[in-house]
Structure 1
């Protein structure tokens, strides 16, 4: 993704409802306002602030917040005051001391600093996210707070300015791998729960909701540029890679290849295009070769091959030269890229497969196994990739010539995990033979 300029983000932050109300209340306290022991002004002063500053409570979703009885009482003035007041106090816009509230001494100076505005807004957004996660704890024993992060991640990974139907967000939430199990009651209430949560985030300016759909269509949800900035800060704080498009080109090849698995499909395409655009095809090949030529780099090799396939038409002579390289990892990287490039005649494909095929297959299986045995099991069950192991199991002599360092480990894993009992048995036999062939003498 690309971020808007800091001054533009700060301008948007300063005009979002929650921030604007908090700052307005901080200014309203000048020079001082008496407060109770609870830190609130008296009710008449609260009503005065609500009236003077035209404060409004957060707009509820149709039908009100998702309480158990579904009813919604009319809002007293306090809800319009309470949240921005406590945000102003929490963020240090307002100082409480000796029964008095007053604006922070440097409030106006800090309120003009784009960096400070974004720091205040980010803190406010993260507090709103935590509050919304707490609201999703609806039944004893449920894990409601875990519902929000995948929703925000889905919105973050959507193409810029795209609007996602609320129904699609719910479907993706329930169908995602490792999705949080929910009861039938929670499933029925998810639209109201998520809409209530998103309305809270809309007050921070992070989310835009289009609820007035022609013909009663589903609510459309969009993460604003400010929301993308806020979600990115959360991702970075918990160690999730969230590189910017303009930064991708400067990332060294090893770290870049390692990060690709964390991207969404659209994000992956953009990241690869950005990385390749920052260097010539020859330089991309050289950097990737340096990054993958080491033990345990199977996932990197396959990611590197996928990147190089997009520029292989400019690398034909270099890739063919690498086929005769005395570094097995690089020779077989070139073989993988050439086999996927559609630049070869059939006799060239046959020649590469005869010489390099078994090593390439072992490397592919080792890359799948690097994600755990579940990764290899999924690989074997996939219609697109299952059956490739026959290239090493159907010809023991070719297997004997395969010098891949993970051959034995891969064969032993196939012996444990292959869904076909006959092939599993052959894998165990092949592992025994491969291990015996590598013993001295």
Structure 2
């Protein structure tokens, strides 16, 4: 997987035990296990470790594929997966002057993991299977062997016009986009994604308006390649796939044009990642160095990691992550850790304090002693007063004017850092200026590192032109005072 993506939204993964059950139910792995249990001292393979013809016919029977049109191909695929995942060990046959001496096969040590391994063992086995099927999916299509086999009987790979790295990068990019569409708020979620849209996401430039005929042809080419690849990836349990409707092909080998309306889009292929597929694609991303978090990753880490980690999370995921972090922790100790982690004057500190406040909202009143400890803290005192007031606590000291204005600047800075809803931010800004007459006369003097930035933002966002002008003047004063 490419590491080009920034930090992705967190994914909600199922428990390892449930994913392991899904893995063991994947049709191709089921077939591979069945062949591994069938393999024995009399099972013969050729020089490449493939079943010899007579044994392949037996494998077809073992798998109950006799009535399938591509029975031998399907059996060979299952055998290859069994070998690639260590479910079967093979001793390859040897080519001699007299002919080929068949090799032998036997159950591999990984077969024991199917019934006796931990969920993590099973998932590791499945990931090996996913890697093997992925490699098959990006392999060249050998439609005309005569055209690419040289006089020496070897395949001329240059004649294939096939670059394995380019092919792998393309499919990884497609799976990455499918993953992103699944985990993003407002994306596909658990619903299927039309194949044309997925192909277009890899082919059509982001800044292109109406696609050209050449680009549309590239989209069609990509669709047909993806149709073949998803047909291979479905049996390993990675995706659920509705293939391109063959009736759309005017004649054999002709590629369909992309759909022109939403009514027939499903006929052009629909694909969704399964929960097991989400696990598998994320595992490849992590291996490639992509930051692909999962809800629950931060549960055992410190408060500083929590507050920094959820900075880019959607609201629902952040709340779920913080609830998991609080589970099993003493309320007072947790509150002290959160408040300590929220301190700071760096650019990310306002957002940390906002997430600290939101996390503390999930903590019961038993955290009150820890919150009262920071009432005199210039950075946390306002936050503490809000928390106590919301819980109807008594004897909450009134904040000073300096604390009120510092908290106002800090709150807006946090909202700017969170890239939240624009209308909500405008309402916050207009509410603050409406409640405090002469707001900007005091605000530009606030000793907060984000004061000038916040006032400039208020000047851009306030819908009253006169107030917006006052905000810009105040921002200029703040910058002049700080020398920045």
Same fold (TM > 0.5): yes
Distance 1:329-1:243 versus aligned 2 partners, 3 A rule? same
Structure 2 segments unaligned to the other structure (5+ residues): 1-11, 95-102, 141-161, 244-263
Aligned partner of 1:103 in structure 2 is 106
Q: CA deviation at 1:267?
A: 3.0
1:84 aligns with 2:78: yes
Confirm or deny: 8 A CA contact 2:319 2:359 kept in the other structure: no
Q: CA deviation at 1:363?
A: 2.0
Distance 1:209-1:272 versus aligned 2 partners, 3 A rule? farther
Q: CA deviation at 1:47?
A: 3.1
Cα separation, 2, equivalents of 1:353 and 1:133: 66
Aligned partner of 2:353 in structure 1 is 301
RMSD, aligned CA: 5.3
Aligned partner of 1:68 in structure 2 is none
Query: Relative to structure 2, which stretch is displaced further, 22-31 or 415-424?
Result: 415-424
Cα separation, 1, equivalents of 2:468 and 2:221: 46
3-state SS of paired residue (1:50): helix
Structure 1 segments unaligned to the other structure (5+ residues): 58-73
Confirm or deny: 8 A CA contact 1:17 1:204 kept in the other structure: yes
Cα separation, 1, equivalents of 2:195 and 2:325: 30
Confirm or deny: 8 A CA contact 1:208 1:222 kept in the other structure: yes
- Work out which of the residue numbers 130, 134, 159 in structure 2 matches 1:125: 130
Aligned partner of 1:356 in structure 2 is 403
- Work out which of the residue numbers 33, 49, 53 in structure 1 matches 2:44: 33
CA deviations on 1:175-200 (whole Å, 9 max, x unpaired) are: 9xx99789695989999998876664
Cα separation, 2, equivalents of 1:134 and 1:156: 29
1:275 aligns with 2:325: yes
Confirm or deny: 8 A CA contact 1:21 1:55 kept in the other structure: no
Aligned partner of 1:405 in structure 2 is 449
CA deviations on 1:285-319 (whole Å, 9 max, x unpaired) are: 21111101122222211111121233476666865
Cα separation, 2, equivalents of 1:307 and 1:169: 40
Confirm or deny: 8 A CA contact 1:21 1:84 kept in the other structure: yes
Distance 1:223-1:384 versus aligned 2 partners, 3 A rule? same
Cα separation, 1, equivalents of 2:125 and 2:448: 54
- Work out which of the residue numbers 152, 158, 162 in structure 1 matches 2:179: 152
Cα separation, 2, equivalents of 1:157 and 1:409: 29
Aligned residues: 394
Cα separation, 1, equivalents of 2:335 and 2:115: 48
3-state SS of paired residue (1:95): strand
Aligned partner of 1:259 in structure 2 is 309
Distance 1:420-1:46 versus aligned 2 partners, 3 A rule? farther
Distance 1:276-1:111 versus aligned 2 partners, 3 A rule? closer
- Work out which of the residue numbers 213, 220, 237 in structure 2 matches 1:205: 237
Q: CA deviation at 1:354?
A: 4.6
Aligned partner of 1:114 in structure 2 is 117
Confirm or deny: 8 A CA contact 1:210 1:220 kept in the other structure: yes
Aligned partner of 2:414 in structure 1 is 367
- Work out which of the residue numbers 423, 445, 448 in structure 2 matches 1:383: 423
CA deviations on 1:384-422 (whole Å, 9 max, x unpaired) are: 112645657963331244111222344467778999987
Q: TM-score, normalised by structure 2?
A: 0.61
Distance 1:151-1:51 versus aligned 2 partners, 3 A rule? same
Aligned partner of 1:70 in structure 2 is none
Aligned partner of 2:192 in structure 1 is 166
Cα separation, 1, equivalents of 2:461 and 2:114: 61
